[in-house]
A = this chain, B = another copy of it.
Amino acid sequence: MGLPALDEFPVALWARLTARRWRRDGAALLGYTDARGYPPLREAIARYAVTARGVRCTPDQVVVVNGAQHGVDLLARVLLDPGDAAWVEDPGWWPVRAAVRAVGARPVRVPVDAGGLVVAEGERRAPDARLAFVTPSYQAPLGAVLSLERRLALLAWAGRAGAWVLEDDYNGEYRYDAPPLPAVQGLDRAVHGDAGRVVYVGSLSKTLAPGLRLGYLIVPPALVEPLRQARGASDLHTAVPEQAVLADFLAEGHFARHVRRTRALYRRRQACLLALAPRLTHGLLELRPTGAGMQVLGLLPDGVDAAAVARAAAARGVVVTPLAAAAPGAAPHEATGGRGGLLLGFAAFGPEATRAALETLGRVLREAAAALPPARRR
């Protein structure tokens, strides 16, 4: 789950850009740089985010980080004080709650439905929260897109409450059934201008590769200096050589090309999974596809334990993630009507690997269903 198609990464091109940078810049890549990141990279990121994601910003507002999770961790440290409330999606990825708790603040679970985060419920539970974490493009992990109405309600609340919205643009590039929706950040700038409340979190772990540990924040003007200081006091900045190579990769159009190519590929890979799964899993996995993302949620028959299925599958070399492990707590239970859920990543796997994995999973599911007390079998 969550792994992109690493074998599609243009390794030779990346190596060539790396060699060229060392040849051209040499020792200039070895010194300190701005804590916000290498300036040419910040320019290239701003240009990409404005064009491709509907963000409104200048390069001054860009902060390069070591992946989206690092950005969330850094923002929690800058924006939250001990005791502060912070909205988190329910169900939602656990690392966000960990980052909130790590600074002594209090995660307040806000439910999600088919329209994404239920903003009105957040306002009811914690109107004075300092921060709201949201995945508008693809609610992680269920896949809902945050509706326009909710986006506007979220921005209006943030403006009134003086709260920050952390927009994690998770899977923002990977939508297959429609053009990707522009980021909430652009809407925020239209509504609030320089007094914007949205911090945009961009990951390159999904669009490029997690091993590179690269991501970026786009922050309102008021947060530029606090972020710079926080980064300077923690690990100073991201390594310069890699930033320089990424700057070229973006500026020369390779990144946009790679995103287009992988988007078409993942659309095909999702279609393949959806076509093969019903038969190979013997109708024992009810898939809940969305027209986006890099994984599909599958619901198990009543009484079949997701964690046990995942363990049995892993023992045979197939890794699936129980929904409750990705998003622990009560709400995954509610979201699935009490049934167990498995998240199946499809982006990294071609048709043969997908077929083989589904066959294995099918055998595991059959055994799990057969082991149920007779009254519970379908």
Contact = CB atoms under 8 A, between A and B. Distances in A.
A213 B237 contact: yes
B6 A30 contact: yes
A214 B235 contact: no
Interface string A1-40: 0010011010110110011001100110111110000000
Interface stretch (A146-154, A174-182, A204-212, A300-308): A204-212
Contact of A18 (B19, B98, B237): B19
Interface string A42-70: 00000000000000000000000111011
Contact of A214 (B19, B29, B239): B239
Chain A interface extent, by class: 35 or more
Copies in the complex: 2
Q: At the interface, is chain A mostly helix, strand, loop or mixed?
A: helix
A27 B237 CA distance: 25
A27 B7 contact: yes
A118 B284 CA distance: 69
Interface string A343-366: 000000000000000000000000
Contact of A30 (B69, B212, B240): B212
B239 A213 contact: yes
A242 B241 CA distance: 9
Contact of A238 (B3, B7, B98, B213): B213
B233 A70 contact: no
A278 interface: no
B233 A99 contact: yes
A239 B67 CA distance: 10
A82 interface: yes
A102 interface: yes
B70 A236 contact: yes
Interface string A170-208: 000000000000000000000000000000000000000
A233 B27 contact: no
Contacts of A210: 30-32, 236
A15 B9 contact: no
A31 B209 contact: yes
A248 interface: no
Contacts of A214: 239
A115 interface: no
Contact of A236 (B6, B14, B213, B237): B213
Contacts of A15: 18-19, 22-23
Contact of A212 (B14, B18, B99, B239): B239
Contact of A211 (B18, B73, B239): B239
Nearest to A214: B239
A104 interface: yes
Interface string A102-121: 10100000000000000000
10 contacts: A3-B31, A7-B27, A18-B22, A19-B19, A69-B234, A69-B235, A69-B236, A210-B236, A211-B241, A235-B235
Given A9-B30, A30-B209, 12 more contacts: A6-B27, A15-B18, A31-B209, A32-B211, A33-B211, A69-B233, A69-B234, A73-B233, A212-B240, A213-B236, A213-B239, A239-B242
